């Protein structure tokens, strides 16, 4: 059963490197490995009344490495695995585009590719989310910039590309990070204690 303690707050999660292990372009379901404690992390958010929204750039679609149906299959498989921990994602959004590497209809300058805010804006409209009361958790500078662009709190995880991202942040950017987390479970624990 989905709890609705405060349905205006959300935690926006990056997918690759945050929820599942980073493998470059995830093109086969057998390469999908959830990062340890992800189910427990997301259940913490569910139990605390946060909407859990995945926002993920999937330029592998634009590059012709996979198709949108496969992206949806990956999301369904992640959801199936999360359900074993009684955890769920409220909504999944992905951007299949790339401005320079894409093919056909996917090669465009879009508003959904992070750090642009299109996916978050859509979630705000569809789910009634207040971005200033929300968080964006991810392992790349794009995730942090997305948070700053919508007025949400950014949380960097050190899984995936997180350690490399941290080493490349400018001092002013580090000052704008309320929390740097070891992994998603650490991030979600901090979020649930923070608010």
Ordered per-residue pLDDT tens for the chain, 195 residues: 344 445 899 999 999 999 999 999 999 999 999 999 999 999 999 999 999 999 999 999 999 999 999 999 999 999 999 999 999 999 999 999 999 998 899 999 999 999 999 999 999 999 999 999 999 999 999 999 999 999 999 999 999 999 999 999 999 999 999 999 999 999 999 999 986
Q: Mark whether 14 is an active-site residue.
A: yes
Strand pairing report for 51-57 and 10-13: parallel
- Secondary structure of the chain: what % helix, strand, coil (to 5)? 40, 15, 45
Q: Which two tokens stand for residue 33?
A: 């490995």
Q: Which two tokens stand for residue 82?
A: 């999360």
Quote the CA–CA distance of 39 and 20 in Å, as a whole number.
11
Q: Which two tokens stand for residue 79?
A: 């959801």
Q: Which two tokens stand for residue 162?
A: 């997180």
> Can you give the pLDDT at residue 2?
43
Q: Mark whether 16 is an active-site residue.
A: yes
Active-site hit among 16, 90, 139, 186: 16
> Can you give the pLDDT at residue 163?
98
Query: What is the layout of strands, in order, in the sheet containing 179-181?
Result: 91-95, 51-57, 10-13, 135-138, 153-157, 179-181
Domains in the chain, please, with CATH? Answer: 10-194 (3.40.50.1000)
Q: What is the pTM of this model?
A: 0.95
Quote the CA–CA distance of 148 and 106 in Å, as a whole number.
26
């Amino acid at each position: 059963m989905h709890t609705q303690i405060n349905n205006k707050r959300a935690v926006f999660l990056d997918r690759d490197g945050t929820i599942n292990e980073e493998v470059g372009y995830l093109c086969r379901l057998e390469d999908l490995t959830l990062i340890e404690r992800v189910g427990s992390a997301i259940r913490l958010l569910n139990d605390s009344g946060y909407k859990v929204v995945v926002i993920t750039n999937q330029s592998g679609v634009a590059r012709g490495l996979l198709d949108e149906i496969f992206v949806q299959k990956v999301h369904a498989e992640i959801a199936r695995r999360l359900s074993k921990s009684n955890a769920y994602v409220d909504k999944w959004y992905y951007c299949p585009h790339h401005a320079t590497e894409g093919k056909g209809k996917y090669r465009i300058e879009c508003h959904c590719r992070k750090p642009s805010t299109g996916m978050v804006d859509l979630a705000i409209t569809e789910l009634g989310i207040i971005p200033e009361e929300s968080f964006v958790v991810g392992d790349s500078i794009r995730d942090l910039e997305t948070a700053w662009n919508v007025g949400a709190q950014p949380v960097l995880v050190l899984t995936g590309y997180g350690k490399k991202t941290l080493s490349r942040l400018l001092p002013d950017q580090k000052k704008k990070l309320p929390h740097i987390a070891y992994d998603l479970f650490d991030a979600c624990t901090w979020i649930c204690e923070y608010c």
